[in-house]
Chain A
Amino acid sequence: MKALHFWMLPDHGSKTASNARGHLREFIRMHPEIKVEVAVKTASSLWKQLFLILKRPQEVPAPDLIEIPAPWGSTLEQLGMLEGPSVPWWTEIGVLYYRKDLLRRHGLDPAEALASIGGLMETCRRLARVGGRCLPIANGNSRDFVSMEDVAPWVWSRGGDFFSRDGSRALFHREEAFYGIHEYLQLLDQGWMPLLGKNGLVPVSLFEGGSFLQFHGRLPPRCPFPLGAVVFPRGDGGRRGTLSARHLAVPRASALGPESSELLRYLTRPSQAERYAASVGGFPCRQEQQEASFQGAGEELGGVFREAKAHARALPEVPFLGTLEKVFDRSMENLIRTILQRSYCESVLRQELIYAAAEMDYVLSLAGAAA
């Protein structure tokens, strides 16, 4: 029996592996000679392992199929690590969820209060004064971490961008993008969005009753509160949201190339992809299936996701985006440290972004040589 190693991202928390096994049942029945071993890796652990495989191919065993965040595809392809391009599997569409009951209790009309970024900031300010156990907005990240995808709608809604059109230079230190990132960090600096590090305790999500609002890209988990959603608030540069997909790819180092390609084809088949996306609360990547998912979500929520999709953008396809995201993460981590030390200010952000942009320009200049 051949063992096919499938490395997944934690799409469904602790149930990721068992959920995946359920989706693989038919494939295993069709291919009794193949045993699919599912391993759940965090994004950073997966990134580290993939580079180790590249550097020490003889020593590190390679997986046969991997699930990756879409922006990694270009990096891994350019490094020659993939057997063909990565294939879209499922996606998230960012919306802003809110507690209907609580907002009503505090006299806030979400359609008005959450229509613009200014309105959202004012709402957070108002809700912070309410006190109690609920924070204005939940932090969706399990660690004190701000990613490019987190700040992307803030940058785009201000009319800014991360990279030049030809993908040769970083632009997020320019004025519009700068203020977009500043606004997002204001949520943390003002204490409206909790930081794990501040009291060392786990942040509580909206769905557990820890906040009034939360950005989230999937259908909501079952919870005892009435929830509503709006598309990402409008900024000076328009209304923008995020579309973040997960892809599947066969690593070139796989010892079971044909079998892995077969499994990739099976999982990305429209019916299978749709079932998997639904099981993790996400959306399929194909347009017609997405529409079916919106309809399944109900008139109100489906309408919000439909509108959010119309305004959504994915991160740009620049070379080595996965590496650039890591540089950005490190910069955001430095800024979070200043927030925790109460020394965050615009000039600190400006300096940090200028340095990060210079570092990214350098990585982009190396991109051609490394590929």
Chain B
Amino acid sequence: MRRRKEPCGLCRFHRKLLLSDDLMLAALGLLSRELACEKAVGFLENPRALSLEARGCIWHGARQETEEAIHLHPASPIAELLDGRRRALSQRFPRPILYVPLSPIQGHPAKGVLRFERATGGRPFSAQERLRAGHGATALAQRLERAEMTRRNKEQIKRFQALTELAAIFASSLRVEDGLKLILQGVQQHFALDRVRLYLVQPGAQKLRGELSVDMRGQVKSLRAEEMPMVAGTHRFVDLLLGSNRDPLLERYSETVLHLPLVLQGNAVGLLVVDNLMSQQGIANEDVGMLKSFAGQIALAVDNSRLFDEVQALSLYDSLTGLPVRRYFFQRLQEEIYRAQRFSQPLSLALLDLDYYKEVNDTYGHQVGDDLLREVGRVLSSHLRKIDFPCRYGGDEILILLPQSKDEDACAIMTRLAQRIREIRIPVPFSKAKEISVTASIGVATYPEDGRTAEDLIAKADEALYWVKSRGKNAVASCARSRTTAEPSS
């Protein structure tokens, strides 16, 4: 059987080429030789810009990058080529030029055009050459379609891989701070973005607060200084989340900046802003869909991690005093003992007991007792140093970890704290006095003089506390009983 001849050898030649740009250049090279022309340029449609963009150029037989665009105008002859109304378009002045449509089926809408040029004064393109160029363009268009499908499949696989990688980060990051940095860096790298920024709505505070920003080198910065009230008109990000009027400037940025609200069950939890402002490279259409899907995942991750933080807070802090619980305290105590050993730093531990607390409960009731404990908790949280770590040890007993403090420093801090506790007043409307006050006894032990383990230190602090209690309460004493640092005040 006789084999059908290929129109211009394109099919045979391009079977091995998979990338559309390589295909285009190979076809342009072949056709420019067959048509004996000086220059051949391939254009593909850019629907976003309503124009045809040059995608390949062969000039004097060599590949040449070119920057050329043809704006599409409904009345232009090029538009007629694209919608299949014309098979070819040629001109003679000032040099012979021929345009043919890039359509997989002749007479059907095309995805682009090919342009062939001869030198000034050259021979015009004949009818046969126009036909040959048309056949070549059709063969190329068919292969470009196939190459485009292959490219999309590959891109899709690449995106799924990225999605899987990022999903793994989402799944393994229960704390917001741990995961977000990795997630944002992953988004910046995968989509080669200039900048990725994350803003989160602060629940309860009615504020939108900046969290993190990742720049084009992958460097992470905190955006915590950026805060805006969730009130319409205060900031365009807030307006965007509240669904208020859209800023026309945002529309202009839409090619280079993408604002992705993080919404969960109808509630905005934050805003992901990605941009290519510095490079001014448009964000690809196919990336926009994927970024939207990531935004959904991030919203879920933020919500999950917030729930995790809440649950953890509930399990780590005593609900009455707001102070950490014993388990959390012992974890910190072990860390601090290790630090004290490693860096030869002092460390003290204080055990505080409220004087006559049982009597308060018995006389005024548990409600007043609880109010008293709540107030003591508040005083401890607000008057201790940032590095100090108190916990409700049990009943009215409170343990306080005092890093970087020798026993005399710890006693001084505790003396000041005892004074603050003495200033507490709990209203008791039904009693004669109308209010009650309280005093505290405190024992202090210091690492390593009084003990090297958590158990030893607590035992020694308890001994010091017993010493204070046995001598009239309302005082602070270090483990060395002779060194009493405060005398009972009443």
Contact = CB atoms under 8 A, between A and B. Distances in A.
Interface of A: 10, 13-15, 17, 40-45, 47-48, 51-52, 54-56, 75, 79, 133, 142-145, 195-202, 204, 208-210, 320, 323, 326-327, 330, 333, 336-337, 340-341, 355, 358-359, 362-363, 366, 370
A-B pairs with lowest CB-CB distance, top 7: A197-B71, A200-B78, A326-B280, A14-B59, A51-B279, A42-B67, A143-B69
Given A133-B93, A359-B252, A323 B73 contact: no
Interface in B23-72: 39, 49-51, 54, 59-60, 62, 64-72
A19 B289 CA distance: 45
A200 B76 contact: yes
Contacts of A145: 67, 69
Interface residues of B, number: 52
Interface of B: 39, 49-51, 54, 59-60, 62, 64-73, 76-79, 81, 89, 91, 93-95, 97, 99, 115, 117, 120, 188-189, 192-195, 215-217, 248-249, 252-253, 255, 277-281
Given A197-B76, A359-B252, 20 more contacts: A40-B65, A51-B194, A51-B278, A55-B188, A55-B189, A55-B193, A55-B216, A55-B217, A144-B71, A197-B51, A197-B71, A199-B78, A200-B77, A200-B99, A204-B93, A323-B277, A323-B279, A323-B280, A326-B280, A337-B50
A73 to B, nearest CB: 15
A196 B94 contact: no
Contacts of A333: 49
B71 A208 contact: no
Contacts, number: 129
19 contacts: A42-B65, A42-B66, A43-B67, A44-B67, A45-B67, A47-B279, A51-B278, A52-B192, A55-B193, A75-B278, A142-B68, A197-B72, A200-B76, A200-B78, A202-B115, A208-B94, A208-B95, A330-B255, A330-B280
Contact of B91 (A44, A75, A201, A326): A201
Contacts of A142: 66-68
A121 B431 CA distance: 98
Given A200-B78, A201-B91, A45 B59 contact: no
Nearest to B218: A55
Nearest to A56: B192
A359 B253 CA distance: 8
Given A197-B70, A340-B71, A366-B277, A14 B65 contact: no
Contacts of A208: 94-95, 120
Contacts of B50: 337
Nearest to A324: B280
A355 B252 contact: yes
B94 A210 contact: yes
Contacts of A45: 65, 67
Nearest to A325: B280
B65 A370 contact: no
A48 B281 contact: yes
Contacts of B79: 200
A99 B445 CA distance: 100
Nearest to B50: A337
Contacts of A15: 60
Nearest to B217: A54
A163 to B, nearest CB: 17
B21 to A, nearest CB: 11
A196 B71 contact: yes
Contacts of A370: 195, 215-216, 278
Given A145-B69, A200-B76, A208-B94, A359 B279 contact: no
A35 B217 CA distance: 31
Contacts of B72: 197
A210 B188 CA distance: 48
Contact of A143 (B67, B91, B192, B249): B67
B278 A201 contact: no
A223 to B, nearest CB: 10
B189 A143 contact: no
A200 B94 CA distance: 15
A242 to B, nearest CB: 19
Nearest to A362: B277
Nearest to B279: A51
Contacts of B70: 143-144, 196-197, 200
A56 B189 contact: yes
Nearest to A223: B120
Given A13-B59, A196-B70, A327 B280 contact: yes
Contact of B97 (A17, A51, A202, A366): A202
Given A41-B65, A200-B77, A54 B216 contact: yes
Contacts of B81: 200
A51 B65 contact: no
A362 B257 CA distance: 12
B455 to A, nearest CB: 52
A358 B249 contact: yes
B278 A209 contact: no
A320 B278 contact: yes
B278 A197 contact: no
B101 to A, nearest CB: 12
B71 A201 contact: no
A363 B65 contact: no
Contacts of A55: 188-189, 192-194, 216-217
